[in-house]
Copies of this chain bind each other. A is one copy, B any other.
Amino acid sequence: MKITISDIAKQAGVSKATVSRVLNNRPEGVGADKRAQIQAILDETGFQPSGFARGLATGVSHSIGLIIPNITNPFYPLLVRGVEDVLNRAGYSLFLCNSDGDITKEKDYVRVLMEKGVDGVILNSAVSDCDCQLDLLEDQQVPYVLLDRIIEGQTQFGVFLDNREGARLAARHLLAQKDCRLIYLNGPAEHSQSKLRLAGLEDVLREKGLALHSIRILQGDDSILSGKTLIGEALDSRQPNASADSLPFNAIFACNDLMAIGAMQALKQHSIKVPEDVQLIGFDDIELAQLVEPALSTVSQPTFEMGSKSAELLLYLINGKKPRTKTVTLKPALVLRGTTRHIGH
């Protein structure tokens, strides 16, 4: 049988209460002599308190849940690491949940996490039409922070990237060239990211006095394949024997790097030169972006920081502090590499 707190109490000739006090470093109520003696026994027996019993008695688990769509998406590992690092340092453990963006799975996970008694939840869910998962959390007063997910009219805690501004940066660069015929490779339409990035693009169109329909929007799904297929089709549908000059587009802005890389593959297959014939900008700045050839120009987001910030915010909430602002907004940056040309000068 496992060794318990009363075992050492007996062994030390004291009561469980006293052992508990030194176990939790309570300054009050134990003489230095006894304290040291008990600590010694604790150490040499390698005693480990039961998290169950502790949780039951205190209502605290020192573990939190992180729900993301899919760890297999190269955007997430760094984010997860950011979360785990600050959590671990603070003495918390992490439940990892892959929702696949499925609202049902997400709800199930939330339920399970609450059963486990997590002290808080970080939720990165891209869909925003149903918030029933949040209701569960609210009901039980479990603190949570939203990661990169905007819910209109709501005032939850969250950390976000300024997606709209990121898109503006990219769009301004691309639309700076005259006679720019731009394709926007959109991500899943229900994702707030896709919407915001499109909105940023439209901002720039307005800035430049261009019609909103002057660009072409292709609907993808954030995968390499969809980027490749979409651009491949756009290329196939043009006139045979068309020269590069007559390309139906000369710039692509993709909602994420994966689609941008897919687009590059299609372009390459058709022997279209990047960035000479068409310029290309992605979004996310995943590690892969630096490794493709030519290296992908993209809008970078501080992924690790998004994870760490959200964990910090959550810990704040768990400790009952009210952070000054309910949301943390991180800034994107345009990273120009090999798939864009330098403009002007």
0/1 string, A32-61, CB within 8 A of B gives 1: 000000000000001011111101100001
Residues of B within 8 A of A115 (CB): 48-51
Q: Does A261 contact B (CB under 8 A)?
A: yes
B-contacting residues, A85-128, CB 8 Å: 85, 88, 93-98, 111-117
Residues of B contacting A51 in the complex (Cβ-Cβ under 8 angstroms): 55, 115-117
The one of B93, B95, B97, B292 that contacts A293, using a Cβ cutoff of 8 Å = B292
Which residues between 231 and 247 of chain A lie within 8 Å of chain B, taking CB atoms? none
- Find residues 52-92 in chain A having any chain B CB closer than 8 Å to their own CB: 52-53, 55-56, 61, 63, 70-72, 74, 76-78, 80-81, 84-85, 88
Which chain B residue shows the least CB distance to A73? B77
State in angstroms the CA–CA spacing of A97 and B66 once bound together.
Answer: 13
Q: How many angstroms from the CA of A46 to the CA of B114 in the assembled complex?
A: 12
Q: Is the CB of B291 within 8 A of A261?
A: yes
Asked if A48 meets B111 with Cβ closer than 8 Å, knowing A71-B71, A77-B71, A77-B76, the reply is: yes
**With A111-B48, A115-B48 as given contacts, are A78 and B72 in contact (CB-CB < 8 Å)?**
yes
| Chain B neighbourhood of A25, CB < 8 A | none
> Do residues B93 and A94 form an inter-chain contact, with CB atoms below 8 A?
no
A305 to chain B, nearest CB (A): 14
Contact B74 A81 (CB under 8 A): no
**A77 interface neighbour in B72, B95, B117, B139, Cβ under 8 Å:** B72
Question: What residues of B have a CB within 8 angstroms of the CB of A71 in the complex?
Answer: 71, 77, 80-81, 84
A178 at the interface (CB under 8 A from B): no
Q: Is A325 an interface residue (CB 8 A)?
A: no
- The CA of A133 and the CA of B55, in the complex, are separated in Å by 24
B95 & A63 in contact (Cβ 8 Å cutoff): yes
| Residues of the B chain whose Cβ atoms lie less than 8 Å from the Cβ of A113 | 93
Nearest CB of chain B from residue A140's CB, rounded to whole Å: 7
A2, CB-defined interface residue at 8 Å: yes
A189 at the interface (CB under 8 A from B): no
With contact pairs A93-B116, A94-B96, A261-B291 given, residues A72 and B76 touching in the complex (Cβ less than 8 Å): no
| Closest residue of B by beta carbon distance from A265 | B291
Q: Which of B81, B140, B261 contacts A70 (CB 8 A)?
A: B81
> Most chain-B CB neighbours within 10 Å: which of A49, A52, A80, A114?
A52
Complex contact A61–B70 (CB within 8 A): no
A61 / chain B contacts, CB cutoff of 8 Å: 52, 116
- Of A46, A115, A261, A292, chain B has the most CB atoms within 10 Å of the CB of A115
Instruction: Tell me, in angstroms, the Cα distance from A25 to B287 when the chains sit together.
Output: 48
Subset of 21 A-B contacts with CB under 8 Å: A48-B111, A49-B115, A51-B117, A52-B52, A52-B61, A53-B56, A56-B56, A70-B81, A71-B71, A71-B80, A72-B77, A74-B74, A74-B77, A93-B95, A93-B97, A93-B112, A93-B116, A94-B96, A95-B96, A224-B291, A288-B291
Interface residues, chain A, with chain B CB atoms under 8 Å away: 2, 46, 48-53, 55-56, 61, 63, 70-72, 74, 76-78, 80-81, 84-85, 88, 93-98, 111-117, 139-140, 224, 261, 287-288, 291-293
Q: Which 6 A-B pairs have the closest CB atoms?
A: A52-B55, A52-B56, A96-B96, A293-B293, A51-B116, A51-B115
